[in-house]
Amino acid sequence: MASVSSSARPHPLQRLNDEEILKAKDILTKSHDSGEKLLFRFTYLEEPKRQDMVKYLAAEHQDDKTATLPTLPRMVKFVYDVIKGPGEHTLADAVVDIDAGKVVHTQTHPRESQAGYAPFEFAQFQETCINSDMFKEALKEFELPPNFAITIDPWPYGGQDPDEDIPRYMQGLVFARDASTDNPDANHYGYPLPLIPVMDFNKKELVRIDRLATGGQGDPWNPRPPLLRSPRSSSPTPSRPSTAPPSPSPTTPPWCPGKSGASASASPRARAPSCTTSATTAAPSSTACPSPRCACPYGDPRPPWHRKQAFDFGDGGAGRSANNLGLGCDCLGAIRYFDVWDTDPEGLPTLSKNVVCLHEQDAGVGWKHTNFRTGRAVVTRLRELVVQFIITLANYEYIFAYKLDNAGNITLETRATGIVSVVAIDEGKTSAYGNVVSPGVLAQNHQHIFAARLDPAIDSYDAGETAVVLEESHSMPAIDPLTNPYGNGYEIRRTPLEKSAFADAEPRLNRVVRFENRAHKNAVSGKNVGYKLTPSATQLMLAHPDSTQAKRAPFAQHHLWVTGHRDGELWAAGEFTNQSRGEVGGVKAMVERGIGEGKLSTPVAWVVWGLTHNPRVEDWPVMPVEIHQVHIRPADFFTSNPALDVPSTKNETSVLVPSSPSPCCEAKEQKETTASQQENPVSHMQGSGPDVKPKDIGSGSKDGKDKKRFTTLLSGVFGKKE
């Protein structure tokens, strides 16, 4: 490693550093009239053109250590506003070649193109609302207890009405927070107010305030004067006895030769991190790990909630919302962290620490066989290299992990957690549009639909060599004396995609997507070397096809899109989703374009999966992770099990548990309860929780008996003869 890290020139995929950003920003500023003010919104590493990057990787992977690597330009892409005067904003983007010291590309965008929101706008929005007379008047409709403060969660103005023609807007969900306790982290989501202020960002003023319905089943939709709601005290949640923290994964440096590898770069938006896999995984199989996008439409048909549709990454920004991952909390074991340089509105570099973590972990038995004649067993462990980042979008959290294991598998894991988005409902009522998760609090039904971009290169980067094939397993049509005499036969059918196309998951046919090299055969099977992806058969967009919600995200209507590669074409729903009326430059357009073109030579795959989230009471006040995994596995890529040489090393630190552990447990419980209660930071999560005894909330159980049930039961069944 030392060799290259000490070399003067950074790797072409190396994240931008502060000097580079500063240089580029000065170059861009100089290129504009002094009269023009620049408002910087997003800053990316502009990756080299594919054809150049391919040359670099080829040279880099040569045996010949002395081979010289091509010099690729370091380039920065800025998305920014050009401000000629008050309210006169023009959205633009530019690419700056730092080495050449010049702007190599500029583009201005039409008025309807809106960049995602920058953090400073959240603060501006809240301030504008709080100070607005219109908003003060609206609040008078509520007899709020004196000790409650107002908090407003910013939301994108998710798709204007067909007849609306508007500048840059933002809307917000309003909550009351119990300010009696001096805890700024008290969960305000427990007390939603039926108001949505809408702000014009260019005029820096409120346009209007939408009143919200608070009725239940069968009630009319029109908003009615809200009832006074008595505040609920946030009784702190006692923590269960602390158990020993989970032990870390192996503590050898995670990137010794012979194990999986990944390279991470982070951009302020959805591409953090992209990666290149190698070593015992996919040789140079993939030049970009799937990079997620997400559209989240809400299913409550009562206006104005049709506008509650967020493109979490396009409107908010994933890289920018990435958490600082604390040691021993978000990632365990031997960890490498990666920082990212972003920019402030002035274009000055700002550092985000530890936004990507890399570590290894055990993943259970990797392969095993016992010879039943000799009783001899061989068992090895599955071992994952994990590249993880976590983003916060107001109330919600997403955890993304790329897992590369020693069997050559690539897994993209998504975990949804955080706080569900809630609105007010009259106490005692229920709704068909969501679930009451706390008295007066309705968690609305919604979807999260993700897209990941996959830029495959199977054992070669050469154009024309990568093929995409849909493979299915079919019953044979009939019992036939010649082809299927007893009816047990089944056949594998292959459909190569010669042109751009979309497709859906079909588990009943065991449909898999194979990325193959049509020129390289597997030495053993004689088939094309390849990797296979199993598309997830998850629910797609539920909004009506003619709705704005659906038109803004055609990508969410199929599980797979295959398009021809174009440099810089990275956004499933188009680059600018904020306030979009439709998908501009998204996968649908790419496929339509491709159909007119010739045969696919450099295919790019876009994998789509979703989570229809009809909230459970268990999702309140903070939801346990909903986990989804997309699997990409070698399929005749290697000449044998790539984990065959994983040593069957016994784990010497495992221990037998004594047969009667109860006493120590009780002791432990006594000893730790107080401590963990004090240290426990979850109490504030409870917020204005349900009116149930703290003990119930604490244990999350329906009554107090569970723990006793538990011990009794176990003693009964485990107690004897161990």
Position 25: which residue type? Answer: K
Instruction: For residue 613, give the nearest of 398, 452, 449 by alpha carbon.
Output: 449
Nearer to a second copy, 252 or 601 (CB): 252
In the complex, the smallest distance separating the C-beta of residue 85 from a second copy, rounded to whole angstroms, is: 32
Residues 467 and 496 sit within 8 Å (Cβ to Cβ): yes
How far are the Cα atoms of 143, 169, 221, 433, 609 from residue 210, in angstroms, in the given order? 19, 14, 13, 19, 33
Of 227, 377, 463, 595, the residue at the interface with a second copy (CB under 8 A) is: 377
Active site residue 396: yes
312 is catalytic: yes
Question: Given the complex with a second copy, which of 134 and 432 has the nearer CB atom?
Answer: 432
Contact with a second copy (CB under 8 A): which of 33, 35, 133, 376? 376
SS3 52: helix
Residue 706's alpha-carbon distances to 404, 618, 690, 699, 709, in angstroms, are 39, 17, 20, 9, 5
Q: How far is the CB of 688 from a second copy (least distance, A)?
A: 12
Task: Tell me: does residue 464 bind a second copy (CB under 8 A).
Answer: no
Considering the complex, what minimum distance in angstroms separates the CB of residue 463 from a second copy?
Answer: 20
Q: Which of 500, 621, 630, 688 is close enough to bind a second copy by CB under 8 A?
A: 621
Nearer to a second copy, 277 or 500 (CB): 277
618 CB-near residues (< 8 Å, 6+ apart)? 624, 700
Which residues make beta-bridge pairs with 40? 80
Among 88, 491, 567, 597, binds a second copy (CB under 8 A): 491
- Show Cβ contacts of residue 379 under 8 Å, excluding neighbours closer than 6 positions: 365, 367, 368, 648
**Given the complex with a second copy, which of 300 and 312 has the nearer CB atom?**
300
Is residue 488 at the binding interface for a second copy, with CB under 8 A as the rule?
yes
Using CB under 8 A, which residues numbered 689 to 708 contact a second copy? 689-690, 692, 696-703, 705-708
Report the distance separating Cα 398 and Cα 296, nearest Å: 12
Asked if 8 is part of the footprint of a second copy (rule: CB under 8 A), the reply reads no
Site for a second copy in 118-177 (CB under 8 A): 122, 151, 161
Q: What is the DSSP letter of 313?
A: I
CA dist 66 and 56 (Å) reads 14
Among 451, 619, 632, 688, binds a second copy (CB under 8 A): 619
Least distance between a second copy and beta carbon 434 (Å): 10
Q: Which is nearer to a second copy, 478 or 596 (CB)?
A: 478
Tokens 């390849």, located at residue: 530
In 394-511, DSSP assigns E strands to: 396-405, 410-418, 422-424, 434-438, 441-444, 446-454, 466-475, 490-496, 501-503
Question: Cα separation of 150 and 152, whole Å?
Answer: 7
Binds a second copy by CB under 8 A, chosen from 47, 397, 465, 575: 397
User: What's the one-letter identity of residue 143?
Assistant: E
279-338 positions binding a second copy, by CB under 8 A: 279-280, 283-284, 297-301, 303, 305-306, 309, 321, 323, 326-338
**Omega cis (within 30) before 220:** no
Q: Which residue from 148, 169, 461, 637 is in contact with a second copy, where contact means CB under 8 A?
A: 637
Residue 556 main-chain phi, psi, to 5 deg: -85, 10
520's enclosing H/E stretch is: strand 512-521
Residue type, position 629, single letter: Q
The distance of closest approach from Cβ of residue 548 to a second copy in the complex, given in angstroms and rounded to an integer, is 7
Under rule CB under 8 A, which residues in 73-112 are in contact with a second copy? none
Coil, strand or helix: which one is 525? coil
Return the DSSP state at 410: E
Of 43, 114, 128, 239, the one binding a second copy (CB under 8 A) is: 239
What tokens were used for 183? Answer: 């805890």
The two structure tokens encoding residue 329: 């909390």
671 interacts with a second copy by CB under 8 A: no
Residues 639-668 that bind a second copy (CB under 8 A): 639-666, 668
Which one is catalytic: 93, 312, 342, 405? 312
User: What is the Cα–Cα distance from 592 to 205, expressed in whole angstroms?
Assistant: 41
Query: Binding to a second copy (CB under 8 A): which residues in 422-451?
Result: 430, 432-433, 435-439, 445
- CB of 170 within 8 A of CB of 192? no
Out of 510, 601, 670, 674, point to the residue binding a second copy (CB under 8 A): 510
Pick 34 or 371: Cβ nearer a second copy = 371
**C-alpha triplet 498, 504, 507: angle, nearest 5°:** 115
Distance CA(331)–CA(327), nearest Å, equals 7
Tell me which residue has tokens 């969501």: 434
Q: Is 378 in the site for a second copy (CB under 8 A)?
A: yes
- Closest approach, Cβ 292 to a second copy, in A, equals 17
Q: Which stretch binds a second copy (CB under 8 A): 75-83, 131-139, 167-175, 479-487?
A: 479-487
# binding residues, a second copy (CB under 8 A): 248
Rounded Cα gap, residues 400 and 377, in angstroms: 36
In 3D space, the residue among 322, 368, 427, 399 whose CA is nearest the CA of residue 641 turns out to be: 368
Shortest distance, position 37 Cβ to a second copy, whole Å:
27
Query: x/- contact string, 208-237, with a second copy (CB under 8 A)?
Result: -----------------------------x
Rounded CA-CA distance 402/192 in Å is: 36
**Using rule CB under 8 A, residue 633 touches a second copy:** yes
> Closer to a second copy at the Cβ: 406 or 500?
406
**608 binds a second copy per the rule CB under 8 A:** no
Q: Which two tokens stand for residue 442?
A: 């309705």
* Residue pair 152/135 in contact by the 8 Å Cβ criterion: no
- Of 487, 496, 566, 595, the residue at the interface with a second copy (CB under 8 A) is 487
Q: Whose Cβ is closer to a second copy: residue 133's or residue 618's?
A: 618
**71, 147, 202, 473: residue in contact with a second copy (rule CB under 8 A):** 473
Distance of closest approach, residue 627 Cβ to a second copy, in angstroms = 8
Binding of a second copy at residue 114 (CB under 8 A)? no
Q: Is 392 in the site for a second copy (CB under 8 A)?
A: yes
Contact between residue 16 and residue 272 where contact means Cβ atoms under 8 Å apart = no
Residue 68 is a binding residue for a second copy (CB under 8 A):
no
Can you tell me the distance from the alpha carbon of 422 to that of 187, in angstroms, rounded to the nearest whole number? 12
Say if CB 531 and CB 634 are below 8 A apart. yes
Q: Which is nearer to a second copy, 319 or 333 (CB)?
A: 333
CB 260 within 8 A of CB 281: yes
Minimum CB distance to a second copy, residue 597 (Å): 31
Query: Whose Cβ is closer to a second copy: residue 109's or residue 520's?
Result: 520
Minimum CB–partner distance for residue 332 and a second copy (Å): 5
Q: How far is the CB of 603 from a second copy (least distance, A)?
A: 21
Active-site pick, 191, 396, 402, 531: 396
**Short-list 157, 395, 412, CA closest to 293:** 412
Binding positions for a second copy, 535-574, rule CB under 8 A: 537-540, 542-544, 546-550
Write each residue from 332 to 371 as x if it is in contact with a second copy (CB under 8 A), else as -, in one continuous string.
xxxxxxxx------------------x--xx-xxxxxxxx
Q: Which residues are catalytic?
A: 312, 396
